[in-house]
Structure 1
Amino acid sequence: MILSRKKQAIQTTVFLEIKGKKKIVHPQVTIQSLFNWLYWAMNLASLSSLLTTNVEKYHSFWLAYLIPLIVFMGAIIVLVVGRQRYIRAPPNGSLLIQAFRVIKIAFRLRWKLGKQDHIKHILDYAKQAQISDEITQTNEKMNEFIDDLKQAIYACRVFTFYPIYWLCYNQMVGNLTSQAAQMNVGPLPNDILQNIDPLVLIIFIPIFEKIIYPSLRRLNINFKPILRITCGFIVASLAIAWTAIVQHLIYSTGPNYSFTTEPCSTSKCQKFNNITVAWQIPSYFLIAISRDVQCRFTEH
Structure 2
Amino acid sequence: MAREKGTKETAKKNQTGDDPPKGGFSSQKKSPKVCGTNYPLSIAFIVVNEFCERFSYYGMKAVLTLYFLNFLHWDENLSTTIYHAFSGLCYFTPVIGALIADTWLGKFKTIIYLSIVYVIGHVIKSVGAIPTVGNQVVHVILSMLGLALIALGTGGIKPCVAAFGGDQFEEEHAQERSKFFSVFYLAINAGSLISTFVTPVLRGDVKCFGGDCYALAFGVPAALMVIALVVFIAGSGMYKKTPPRGNILLEVCQCIAFAITNRLKNHSKQIPKREHWLDWASEKYSKQLINEIKMVTRVLFLFIPLPMFWALFDQQGSRWTLQATKMNADFGGIVFQPDQMQFLNPLLILIFIPIFDLGVYPLINMCRFNFTPIRKMATGMILAGLAFAAAAIVDIKINETTMPSPVPKESFIQVLNLANDSIHVKIQGQDLFHQPIGAFQDPAEYSKLMLNGAQQNLGFELQSQGSVSTFYHTVQEKSVYSLIVYKSEGNLSSHLIADMETKPAKGLMAVRFINALDQDVNVTIGREQIISVNKNYSVSDYTTLERGKYNVQCKTEAKEVTLDLGLLDFGASYTIVINNTSANTIGAWKTEDIMANNVHIAWQLPQYLLISAGEVMFSITGLAFSYSQAPVSMKSVLQAGWLLTVAFGNVIVLIVAQAAPLEQWAEFVLFACLLFAVCIIFSVMGYFYISVDPEDLTEKEEEKEMPSNGNVISLVPQKTKL
Could you tell me how far 1:156 is from its partner in structure 2? 2.4
Q: Is residue 2:255 matched to residue 1:102?
A: yes
Could you tell me how far 1:258 is from its partner in structure 2? 5.2
Q: 1:49 aligns with which of 196, 202, 220?
A: 196
Secondary structure of the residue aligned to 2:390 is helix
**Range 150-159 or range 68-77, more displaced:** 150-159
Aligned length: 265
Find the counterpart in structure 1 of residue 600 from structure 2.
Answer: 276
**Long gaps (5+) in structure 1:** 7-25, 131-138
Deviations 1:224-277 (CA, angstroms, capped at 9, x unpaired): 12211211111011100000000111112x3x3557761353336852521110
Partner Cα distance (2:306, 2:345) in 1: 19
Partner Cα distance (1:236, 1:270) in 2: 29
Could you tell me how far 1:167 is from its partner in structure 2? 1.4
Q: Is residue 2:274 matched to residue 1:119?
A: yes
Deviations 1:188-241 (CA, angstroms, capped at 9, x unpaired): 210111110000010010111112222333443221122112111110111000
Find the counterpart in structure 1 of residue 385 from structure 2.
Answer: 237
Partner Cα distance (2:281, 2:308) in 1: 34
Partner Cα distance (2:278, 2:385) in 1: 37
Instruction: Give, as a single letter, the amino acid of the residue that structure 2 aligns with 1:210.
Output: L
Q: Give the TM-score, by structure 2 length.
A: 0.35
Q: Is residue 2:288 matched to residue 1:158?
A: no
Partner Cα distance (1:270, 1:289) in 2: 30
Find the counterpart in structure 1 of residue 612 from structure 2.
Answer: 288
The 3 A distance-change label for structure 1 pair 29 and 78 is closer
Could you tell me how far 1:292 is from its partner in structure 2? 0.4
Partner Cα distance (2:320, 2:404) in 1: 16
Could you tell me how far 1:176 is from its partner in structure 2? 0.7
Partner Cα distance (1:42, 1:215) in 2: 26
Q: Is residue 2:177 matched to residue 1:34?
A: no
Could you tell me how far 1:61 is from its partner in structure 2? 1.2
The 3 A distance-change label for structure 1 pair 31 and 84 is closer
Partner Cα distance (1:270, 1:207) in 2: 36
Find the counterpart in structure 2 of residue 20 from structure 1.
Answer: none
Task: Check conservation: 1:102, 1:126, Cα contact below 8 A.
Answer: yes
Partner Cα distance (1:28, 1:290) in 2: 25
Secondary structure of the residue aligned to 1:106 is helix
Partner Cα distance (2:313, 2:250) in 1: 31
The 3 A distance-change label for structure 1 pair 231 and 259 is farther
Partner Cα distance (1:83, 1:229) in 2: 35
Q: What is the RMSD computed on CA atoms of the aligned residues?
A: 2.5
Partner Cα distance (1:43, 1:66) in 2: 20
Deviations 1:169-203 (CA, angstroms, capped at 9, x unpaired): 12211111111111111322101111100000100
Structure richer in helix, relative to its length: 1
Find the counterpart in structure 2 of residue 198 from structure 1.
Answer: 346
The 3 A distance-change label for structure 1 pair 182 and 91 is same
Find the counterpart in structure 2 of residue 221 from structure 1.
Answer: 369
Secondary structure of the residue aligned to 1:129 is coil
Q: Give runs of aligned pairs for residues 58-73 of structure 1, distance below 5 A.
A: 58-59=205-206, 60-73=213-226
Q: Give runs of aligned pairs for residues 68-79 of structure 1, distance below 5 A.
A: 68-79=221-232
Secondary structure of the residue aligned to 1:296 is helix
Partner Cα distance (1:82, 1:33) in 2: 21
Task: Check conservation: 2:569, 2:597, Cα contact below 8 A.
Answer: no
Task: Check conservation: 1:32, 1:296, Cα contact below 8 A.
Answer: no
Task: Check conservation: 1:33, 1:209, Cα contact below 8 A.
Answer: no
Task: Check conservation: 1:50, 1:195, Cα contact below 8 A.
Answer: yes
Find the counterpart in structure 1 of residue 313 from structure 2.
Answer: 169
Task: Check conservation: 1:250, 1:257, Cα contact below 8 A.
Answer: no
Find the counterpart in structure 2 of residue 266 from structure 1.
Answer: 543
Instruction: Give, as a single letter, the amino acid of the residue that structure 2 aligns with 1:171.
Output: Q
Q: 1:298 aligns with which of 598, 602, 623?
A: 623
Task: Check conservation: 1:231, 1:293, Cα contact below 8 A.
Answer: yes
Find the counterpart in structure 2 of residue 146 from structure 1.
Answer: 290
**Range 118-127 or range 28-37, more displaced:** 28-37
The 3 A distance-change label for structure 1 pair 269 and 282 is closer
Structure richer in strand, relative to its length: 2
Instruction: Give, as a single letter, the amino acid of the residue that structure 2 aligns with 1:122.
Output: W
Partner Cα distance (2:404, 2:275) in 1: 59
Instruction: Give, as a single letter, the amino acid of the residue that structure 2 aligns with 1:125.
Output: W
Partner Cα distance (1:159, 1:128) in 2: 29
Partner Cα distance (1:258, 1:243) in 2: 21
Could you tell me how far 1:28 is from its partner in structure 2? 6.0
The 3 A distance-change label for structure 1 pair 293 and 150 is same
The 3 A distance-change label for structure 1 pair 239 and 77 is same
The 3 A distance-change label for structure 1 pair 30 and 270 is closer
Could you tell me how far 1:155 is from its partner in structure 2? 1.9
Task: Check conservation: 1:228, 1:297, Cα contact below 8 A.
Answer: no
Task: Check conservation: 2:387, 2:610, Cα contact below 8 A.
Answer: yes
**Range 120-129 or range 194-203, more displaced:** 120-129
Instruction: Give, as a single letter, the amino acid of the residue that structure 1 aligns with 2:623.
Output: T
Task: Check conservation: 2:327, 2:570, Cα contact below 8 A.
Answer: no
Deviations 1:100-127 (CA, angstroms, capped at 9, x unpaired): 1111221232234446434111111112
Instruction: Give, as a single letter, the amino acid of the residue that structure 2 aligns with 1:297.
Output: G
Q: Is residue 2:399 matched to residue 1:251?
A: yes
Secondary structure of the residue aligned to 1:128 is coil
Partner Cα distance (1:277, 1:77) in 2: 39
The 3 A distance-change label for structure 1 pair 30 and 81 is closer
Partner Cα distance (1:200, 1:270) in 2: 27
Task: Check conservation: 1:239, 1:282, Cα contact below 8 A.
Answer: yes
Find the counterpart in structure 1 of residue 428 from structure 2.
Answer: none
Partner Cα distance (1:129, 1:113) in 2: 15
**Long gaps (5+) in structure 2:** 1-13, 16-171, 207-212, 407-479, 481-500, 503-509, 511-541, 545-567, 572-595, 626-722
Q: Give the TM-score, by structure 1 length.
A: 0.80
Deviations 1:22-41 (CA, angstroms, capped at 9, x unpaired): xxxx9665443221221112
Secondary structure of the residue aligned to 1:125 is helix
Task: Check conservation: 1:36, 1:296, Cα contact below 8 A.
Answer: no
Partner Cα distance (1:37, 1:79) in 2: 17
Find the counterpart in structure 1 of residue 677 from structure 2.
Answer: none
Partner Cα distance (1:236, 1:94) in 2: 38
Partner Cα distance (1:270, 1:80) in 2: 47
Could you tell me how far 1:96 is from its partner in structure 2? 2.2
